[in-house]
Amino acid sequence: MTDAAMTKKGLEGVVIAQTRLSKVFGDEGRLIYCGYDIHDLAQHASFEEVVYLLWHKELPTRAQLDDFKASKHDCTEIPDFIFDHMTYYAKNAHPMAALRTAVSGLAMWDPVPDDTTPEHIAHAACQITWAMPAIIAGWERIRNGKEPIASRDGELDHAANFLWMLKGEAPDALSVRVLDTYLILLADHGMNASTFAARVTTSTLSDLYSAITSAIGTLKGAAHGGANEAAMRQFVEIGAVENVEPWFRKARAEGRRIMGIGHRVYKTQDPRAVELAAIAEKLAEQKGGDVLKYFTIAKKLVEVARADDYFIERNLYPNVDYYSAVALHAVGVPIDQFTPIFAMSRIAGWTAHILEQWADNRLIRPRGDYVGPDHLTWKPIDAR
């Protein structure tokens, strides 16, 4: 077989590893984590339970969950120099750039960052996973001239603690549940681009901090995690429900993408989007105002798009980024912080995949199909 015959642009359909973590059934619109359907987890689990599931391949008992929550308390501390360094970041820097830099900086706090024993990798995974909310919330406050707020881990669960550190006020129960559900829904998703980046870095025998930094850099792109931010800016640009149809016609004429609709793998409804649509609708009903406005715009845009032959023929439906934009906006997350919140969820999957890669590692080294010239003749520079 020739190189050309083997070429799979974007590695589409190429299997690069076996995993027990998650599986996307694209034609069925189904997603499982370690065998559990995402709808069951979204409706009944907590994010801490899902992290435990991904790390241990089983759901915890009550006693195991209590111990797990107690053990994570030691991993929520952020060294002062991380926040000190943030004060020197450009205040207009994208929050994903700040997150990428701060997470990389955590390696400077680890006395043995290159220790790749299973025990230390697990400890570093714990450190990054539970510290990430403080980094994200801390940067939001620092860039606005405020002091970071101390964590209340132990008093508050993960989602509630993040909202506390972000705003400095006790969050309402609905906002906590919405954020917790969002974190569950995005915790893992097969061999997506950022997870693949983390596993590639790990396969070189690099450290966990480098692998997570690679993943964050990959997630930042608008074709991956940055799509939720782009979707929200799209709704803001539309501005009112009566503008949806003319906006859509103009966007299609200009060849613009409708952000948040369509998915590389799902050929029917994204099960995560189904859950988030229901959450966004509930938020719209209870909060009204801008939340209701943007939910109504989003709902109308889907109706218009799904009536268009292009979207019908290609089986394009809302993906996880679409309604998550409305949900995150509703709980008070700034638009440019949407993708860091995605990372705050996906860190559970990234770390689980890194642990899995280490358990049975082989360097990930695909080939490229060279299509350039061959047998060129060298000419001296004055003869060219």
Question: Where in the sequence numbering do the catalytic residues fall?
Answer: 263, 321
Rg (CA), the chain: 22
CA angle, 260 then 261 then 262, to 5°: 120
Q: How far apart (Å, rounded) are the C-alpha atoms in residues 173 and 339?
A: 23
Q: How far apart (Å, rounded) are the C-alpha atoms in residues 103 and 213?
A: 7
The answer for 372, left when phi > 0, alpha when psi is -120 to 50, beta otherwise, is beta
Task: Quote the tokens at residue 378.
Answer: 């060298």
Q: How far apart (Å, rounded) are the C-alpha atoms in residues 316 and 312?
A: 7
- Tell how strand 22-25 and strand 30-33 pair up: antiparallel
Please compute, for residue 36, the number of CA atoms within 13 A of its CA located in the half-sphere on the CB side: 21
